[in-house]
Chain A
C-alpha cells in the first residue's frame, strides 16, 4: 500500500481540473503494476468525476450544476444568523455544498500493466465548486507493485566482479527483513520531491551497507551461519570476507554520494561511524559479559538503531521534507531500532524462530534478556556462574532455560513495546501525508514477531 496526497490550486469558482496525467504519474512512480488507485476529496466543496475532457461539454456541466443548485438563490447554510460556530472567514457557499452532492467525493480507478484503465474518452477531474482555493486529494494505491528495491539490489549485485558479488548475492538473496529499505521507501514519500526510483536506489544502497557490516560482524563473532546459510567468512575464508565487506562498504557509500544530496550523505556517514564505534564497544564489553542495561543501550543505539534512524531521516531528506519531519523521523527510527534489537534478542530464546536457541549465549553477544536474567534474584546467581565459565551445549541450554523461567523475556518485551509507543508518539506532531498508520504498523510489527 502506498499513500499520498495530490495538491493543486484551483483558479475559478467552478472548474473541472483534469488530473489524469498526474494520477498516471503517481501510479508510474509508485511502481503499481496491477491494482487500484483510491481517491478521496478532502473537502466538502470539491468533487471527483470521470468524463470527457471536451471544453464545450465542461461548460454544459457547469450550466447543469448552476441550474440544479443555482448560485443566486437562498441557502439556509448561508444564513449565518441562524448557524452556530461560524468561522470569521466562512464563505457563502451553500450552492457549492449542494453541487457537491451531485458529483462524488471519492473514486476508485483500476490499474493494469502499470497504467490507469480508462476508456478512450475518459479523463479524471477534480471538480472545484467553490474556488479559487488550495486543494488536496488523498490517494491510496494497493495491489501488486514492482519491487523497485529488489530490482535495484539485483542490478547492483549483477554489475560487480564475480568473486565479490557471489558471496554478497547469496547473503542478500537469503532474505532479511528489509526493514531499513522499507523505511527509506516510506519516508521518501514525505517530501515534495518524491521520486520512487531515487528512493529505491538509496534504499538498496542502505541495504547493501547493512549487509556489508554483517559480513565483517560474522567474521568477528565467528558465526557459522547467517539467515540459514554459511556466512561469507565460513564459506569463503576471512580474507575474502574482509574484502567483500570493504568492497560493499565502499560501493554503498559511493551510491549514496551519487544521490547528490549532501544531507543524505552526511546522515548515512554519521550512522556508519556510530556503527563502527559501537562494534568496538560491543567486543570490548564481552569481557564483562553479560554487561548492564546502560552499556547495552549505548551499544545498541550505535549497532542497530543508528542505521534505522539514518534510513528514516535520509529518506525524508532525499525528498526534501521539512526539518521538523526529518528530525521526528530520526527519533522514531532511533527508538524503533532499539526496540527492534530487543525483539531480536528475544528471538534467541524462541524455539519457534527457526534459528538455534541460545546462539547469542554461545557467542557471548550482548543481549538484554541475559542481562535481566543475570540480575534476577532467583536465577541470577546460576546464570552469572554459567556465563563466567566455558559455554558448551549443556551450559547454553541451561542458561536458555533459566532465562525463559525468569521474567526477563517479559521485561524485555514490555520495554520494547514501550519504546515502540514512544517512537509512534514522535510521529504525532508532524504531517505525514497519510503515512502515519503505515509507519505505526511497521513499528509495532517489528517487535511483535517470532523470527
Chain B
C-alpha cells in the first residue's frame, strides 16, 4: 500500500499498526486477489481493522476497558468508511452482516464462526 494511503488510513492507529495490525493486514492481502488491484490494499486493511477492532473490544470475551473499546470503535468506523470509498455495495453489506453475526452470537453467548472466515466470505461477496 502506498505511503500516502497508509498515512491517511492509519491516522491515530499508528500504534496498532506496529502492534499486530500490519500482520493481520498482510494476511488479508492474499484474500483480495480477485478485486481490482487499486482497491486490494484498502479492502485488506478494512478486513484487518474489523478483526483487530473486535479483538480490542473484547467482543465475546471479557469486556475491554473504555479506552480500548473506543479504539475498537474507531477501527470499525474506519473500516466502514474505507469500504464506502472502495468496495461494492455487496461487500459493504456482507461486512456489516459479518459483524452482526459475530456480535449477535456474543450477546447470546453462543459460539460463532471465526472472524476471519466471515470476513473472507464478505470479501468474496463482490
Chain A residues in contact with chain B, CB under 8 A? 160-161, 163-164, 216, 219-220, 237-247, 249-251, 253-254, 257-258, 260, 262, 265-266, 269-270, 272-273, 275-277, 279-280, 283
Which residues from chain A contact B89 at a C-beta distance below 8 Å? 257-258, 260
Which residues from chain B contact A250 at a C-beta distance below 8 Å? 76, 95-100, 103
Contact among B62, B70, B92, B104 with A247 in the assembled complex (CB-CB below 8 Å)? B104
B57/A272 in contact, CB under 8 A: no
Cα of A275 to Cα of B70 in the assembled complex, Å = 10
Within 8 A of A (CB), among B64-96: 64, 66-67, 69-71, 73-74, 76-78, 80-81, 83-85, 89, 92-93, 95-96
B108/A164 in contact, CB under 8 A: yes
B57 to chain A, nearest CB (A): 5
A228 to chain B, nearest CB (A): 23
Known: A242-B57, A257-B93. 19 other contacts (CB 8 A): A160-B104, A163-B108, A164-B107, A164-B108, A237-B63, A246-B99, A246-B102, A247-B107, A250-B96, A250-B100, A260-B89, A262-B84, A265-B84, A270-B81, A273-B77, A273-B80, A276-B73, A280-B71, A280-B74
Cα of A260 to Cα of B84 in the assembled complex, Å = 11
Which residues from chain A contact B58 at a C-beta distance below 8 Å? 239, 242
B63/A276 in contact, CB under 8 A: no
A246/B64 in contact, CB under 8 A: no
The bracket for how many chain B residues form the interface is 35 or more
A243/B77 in contact, CB under 8 A: no
B77/A246 in contact, CB under 8 A: no
A254/B96 in contact, CB under 8 A: yes
B62/A239 in contact, CB under 8 A: yes
Cα of A160 to Cα of B63 in the assembled complex, Å = 22
Cα of A147 to Cα of B12 in the assembled complex, Å = 41
A253/B96 in contact, CB under 8 A: yes
Between A and B, 19 residue pairs with Cβ closer than 8 Å are: A163-B108, A164-B104, A216-B73, A219-B63, A242-B57, A242-B58, A242-B69, A243-B59, A243-B60, A243-B107, A244-B103, A244-B107, A260-B89, A262-B84, A272-B80, A273-B80, A276-B78, A277-B74, A280-B74
Which among B62, B64, B104 has the greatest number of chain A C-beta atoms within 10 A?
A: B104
Cα of A276 to Cα of B11 in the assembled complex, Å = 13
Determine if B52 is an interface residue (Cβ-Cβ < 8 Å): no
Which residues from chain B contact A266 at a C-beta distance below 8 Å? 81, 84-85
Cα of A280 to Cα of B54 in the assembled complex, Å = 17
Contact among A220, A246, A258, A260 with B70 in the assembled complex (CB-CB below 8 Å)? A220
B81/A269 in contact, CB under 8 A: yes
Identify the closest chain B residue to A251 (Cβ).
B100
Identify the closest chain B residue to A240 (Cβ).
B107
A273/B103 in contact, CB under 8 A: no
A273 to chain B, nearest CB (A): 5
Which residues from chain B contact A276 at a C-beta distance below 8 Å? 70, 73-74, 76-78
A301 to chain B, nearest CB (A): 16
A22 to chain B, nearest CB (A): 32
Identify the closest chain B residue to A282 (Cβ).
B70
A270 to chain B, nearest CB (A): 6
Contact among B60, B70, B95, B109 with A280 in the assembled complex (CB-CB below 8 Å)? B70
B63/A242 in contact, CB under 8 A: yes
Which residues from chain A contact B16 at a C-beta distance below 8 Å? none
A251/B96 in contact, CB under 8 A: yes
Which residues from chain B contact A265 at a C-beta distance below 8 Å? 84, 92
